């Protein structure tokens, strides 16, 4: 995601997290939570067991769809009665999508065969969340050719080098599977391009600038050969196998040679072929601009917004929310200026009193207990982004752990990113670490949820939560002076940054703004740099609704918090409020609101 910094007058490229998920359609239609029974009968217990078996079967079907998802989701598959899966990235074709839709329809029918009144409280929540997810997914059926997994920042081709370099190697079998998986990449990328060609023939081709941006990202990755991250990371991953006696020195050297050959002779040529084949897609786009220019493009954008935010709000309703939030924060800023006319000058020279990422995360962990439930015991590792990937990755990002190993958390620091700044690193680590993604994921996994929940991807909840805690982390920073005012100005800057980008996203993709209108809108807010306007205009076309996934979802959490505070007054307890959200786990906002209401009011 690209995040505009009003204070510094530049665009900051941020991918807040790389969350591996099964590639399924998503959409929106909420189900209400029903009342639960207080004293289950024997028949209820039997039905509970049957429902658990049903969810377990679904989990096994979905998690085994491809080797990468399987490996990232489970550390010890045998604990789930699963063995290894074929060393493949899976299929990306019209036929595979049709099979997925049939699979989801079948699951939906099976789910409907259960009577919710016979389920436990937790099972009813799982029922509602799964039902919502399935209806959402199937609602996206008409929009098969509108979707793409290719983009310069959050596209699959940009994520794969990181995901492969973090592939766990804990046995010889893991090594062999990994090397076999590398050999499948060329086939998989060719399938993706073939599908993009079908899309182009049907009038849904990518615009040339988007193709060129993807090619630039890939060429940056290809610039590293012998120093490729898949070579260096492989050697590092084998070191603990050598020290633990699983590998001999000779075996380690042999595997390293095999991997180097795979990277140089298969992976890099696969990317080169991919870049070259994208040339065939140029000149085939039927539109110049946002999604609204496609046939039924506005309908798709409405669906996409509901899908990525997990909220039933329309683009128009979200616009109103954004304008309201920005006006409130502008009023706050004016009040601060009236109290202290020099406050902005003081803000310009104020810095966060930390520069070391480890110290920042440690401080965030300590401050967490002021407003959030106690974090589970876990660990994390800080790593540095490879130079060949730095241009298109964020200052920091988080990789989720397997659901059966909450200790394997990784946060990447991208010191070579053009937007890396120690002043913005602290809130970014709050987003990625504590009390953001790392905390939210490990907390939820520690509650021992049904495994199926890990595969139901509600990005609005995940990114909305991380943006929400990033926003409020400013209130806990120990500035050297005027701490409250500094925090409010930081929050204003964040609202302005994400608010403007979100409004442009809606303007371009839903209202049909062209570059001139985009530039004019920014000029009204004091942003006159033409490169900034062009970059942002391209960004919202390449990755539509991406800003809303963060900001509109954040506003839903803010609205729920405000409602709770207004209703409970002095009885509002932030720890209790956050615990309800975290215990529920990723879910659409209608269900989040229902659970908060039933527990607090």
Quick one: pLDDT at residue 19?
27
| 8-state DSSP, 265 | I
Using alpha carbons, select from 282, 316, 308 the residue that is nearest to residue 214.
Answer: 282
The side-by-side arrangement of strands in the sheet containing 17-18 is 17-18, 396-399, 409-413, 380-384
pLDDT band at residue 500 under the 50/70/90 scheme: very high
**Residue with tokens 């019209």, as numbered in its chain:** 94
pLDDT exceeds 70 at position 49: yes
Using alpha carbons, select from 523, 249, 476, 213 the residue that is nearest to residue 370.
Answer: 476
Quick one: pLDDT at residue 489?
96
Quick one: pLDDT at residue 480?
82
What is the per-residue pLDDT across 290-330, written as a single tens digit (0 to 9) for each? Answer: 999 999 999 999 999 999 999 999 999 999 999 999 999 99
**272: CB partners within 8 A, 6+ apart:** 222
What is the per-residue pLDDT across 513-556, written as a single tens digit (0 to 9) for each? Answer: 999 999 999 999 999 999 999 999 999 999 999 999 999 999 99
Quick one: pLDDT at residue 33?
32
Please, are residues 309 and 549 in contact by the beta-carbon 8 Å criterion? yes
Quick one: pLDDT at residue 22?
29
Using alpha carbons, select from 315, 300, 312 the residue that is nearest to residue 132.
Answer: 312
pLDDT exceeds 80 at position 29: no
Quick one: pLDDT at residue 26?
28
Average pLDDT over residues 407-419: 84
What is the per-residue pLDDT across 156-211, written as a single tens digit (0 to 9) for each? Answer: 999 999 999 999 999 999 999 999 999 999 999 999 999 999 999 999 999 999 99
Please, are residues 373 and 578 in contact by the beta-carbon 8 Å criterion? yes
| 8-state DSSP, 455 | G
| 8-state DSSP, 384 | E
Question: How much of the chain exceeds pLDDT 70, in percent?
Answer: 91
Distances (CA, A) of 345 to 11, 480, 585: 22, 15, 42
Omega before 435 within 30 of 0, i.e. cis? yes
The kind and range of the H/E element at 546 are helix 546-568
Helix (H, G, I), strand (E, B) or coil at 561: helix
Please state, rounded to an integer, the average pLDDT across all residues of the chain.
90
Encode burial over 4-34: b for 16+ CB neighbours within 10 A, e otherwise. Answer: bbbbeeebbbbbbbbbbbebbbbbbebbebe
Quick one: pLDDT at residue 251?
97
Higher pLDDT, 382 or 9: 382
Q: What is the rounded distance in angstroms from the CA atom of residue 42 to the CA atom of residue 47? A: 9
Phi, psi of 22 (to 5 degrees): -70, 135
pLDDT band at residue 47 under the 50/70/90 scheme: low
Q: Burial of 244 by CB count in 10 Å (0-12 exposed, 13-18 middle, 19+ buried)? A: exposed
Q: What is the rounded distance in angstroms from the CA atom of residue 73 to the CA atom of residue 71? A: 6
Bridge partners of 18, per DSSP, are 399
Using alpha carbons, select from 389, 405, 384 the residue that is nearest to residue 454.
Answer: 405
Q: Which two tokens stand for residue 565?
A: 């505070």
Phi, psi of 399 (to 5 degrees): -110, 125
Average pLDDT over residues 135-143: 96
Q: What is the rounded distance in angstroms from the CA atom of residue 139 to the CA atom of residue 429? A: 35
Q: What is the rounded distance in angstroms from the CA atom of residue 445 to the CA atom of residue 585? A: 9
- For the chain, the farthest-separated pair of C-alpha atoms sits apart, in whole angstroms, at 72
pLDDT band at residue 9 under the 50/70/90 scheme: very low
pLDDT exceeds 90 at position 89: yes
């Amino acid at each position: 995601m690209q995040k505009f910094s009003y204070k510094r007058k530049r665009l900051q490229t941020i991918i807040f997290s790389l969350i591996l998920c099964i590639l399924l359609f998503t959409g929106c239609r909420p189900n209400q939570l029903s009342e639960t029974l207080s004293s289950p009968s024997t028949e209820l217990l039997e039905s509970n067991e049957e429902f658990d078996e049903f969810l377990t079967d679904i989990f096994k079907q979905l998690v085994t769809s491809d080797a990468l998802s399987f490996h990232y989701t489970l550390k010890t598959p045998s604990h789930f009665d699963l063995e290894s899966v074929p060393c493949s990235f899976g299929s990306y074709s019209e036929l595979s999508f049709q099979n997925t839709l049939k699979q989801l329809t079948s699951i939906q029918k099976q789910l409907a065969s259960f009577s919710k009144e016979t389920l436990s409280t937790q099972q009813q929540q799982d029922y509602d969340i799964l039902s919502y997810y399935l209806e959402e997914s199937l609602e996206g059926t008409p929009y098969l050719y509108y979707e793409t997994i290719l983009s310069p920042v959050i596209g699959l081709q940009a994520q794969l080098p990181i995901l492969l370099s973090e592939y766990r190697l804990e046995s010889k079998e893991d090594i062999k599977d990994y090397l076999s998986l590398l050999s499948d990449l060329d086939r998989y990328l060719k399938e993706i391009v073939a599908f993009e060609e079908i899309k182009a023939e049907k009038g849904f081709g990518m615009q040339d600038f988007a193709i060129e941006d993807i090619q630039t990202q890939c060429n940056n990755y290809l610039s590293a050969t012998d120093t490729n991250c898949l070579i260096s990371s492989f050697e590092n991953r084998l070191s603990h196998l050598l020290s633990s006696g699983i590998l001999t020195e000779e075996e380690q050297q042999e595997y390293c040679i095999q991997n180097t050959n795979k990277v140089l002779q298969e992976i890099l040529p696969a990317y080169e072929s991919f870049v070259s084949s994208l040339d065939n897609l140029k000149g085939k786009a039927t539109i110049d601009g946002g999604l609204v220019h496609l046939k039924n493009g506005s309908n798709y954008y409405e669906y996409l917004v509901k899908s990525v935010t997990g909220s039933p709000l329309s683009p128009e309703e979200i616009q109103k929310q954004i304008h309201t939030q920005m006006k409130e924060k502008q009023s706050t800023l004016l009040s601060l200026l009236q109290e202290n006319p020099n406050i902005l000058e003081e803000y310009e020279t104020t810095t966060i009193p930390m520069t070391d990422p480890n110290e920042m995360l440690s401080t965030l962990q300590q401050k967490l207990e002021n407003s959030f439930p106690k974090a589970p015991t876990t660990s994390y590792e800080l790593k540095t982004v490879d130079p060949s990937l730095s241009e298109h990755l964020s200052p920091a990002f988080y990789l989720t752990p397997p659901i059966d190993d909450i200790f394997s958390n990784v946060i990447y620091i991208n010191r070579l990113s053009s937007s890396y700044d120690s002043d913005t690193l602290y809130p970014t680590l709050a987003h990625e670490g504590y009390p953001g993604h790392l905390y939210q994921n490990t907390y939820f996994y520690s509650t021992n949820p049904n495994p199926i929940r890990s595969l139901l991807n509600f990005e609005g909840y995940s990114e909305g939560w991380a943006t929400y805690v990033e926003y409020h982390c400013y209130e806990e920073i120990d500035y050297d002076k005027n701490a409250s005012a500094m925090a409010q100005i930081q929050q204003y800057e964040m609202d302005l940054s994400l608010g403007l980008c979100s409004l442009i996203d809606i303007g371009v993709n839903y209202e049909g703004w062209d570059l001139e209108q985009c530039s004019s809108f920014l000029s009204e807010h004091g942003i006159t740099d033409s490169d900034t306007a062009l970059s942002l205009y391209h960004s919202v076309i390449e990755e539509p609704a991406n800003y809303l996934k963060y900001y509109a979802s954040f506003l839903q959490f803010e609205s729920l918090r405000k409602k709770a505070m207004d209703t409970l007054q002095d009885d509002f307890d932030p720890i209790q409020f956050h615990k309800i959200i975290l215990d529920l786990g990723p879910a659409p906002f209608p269900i989040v609101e229902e659970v908060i209401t039933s527990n607090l009011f």
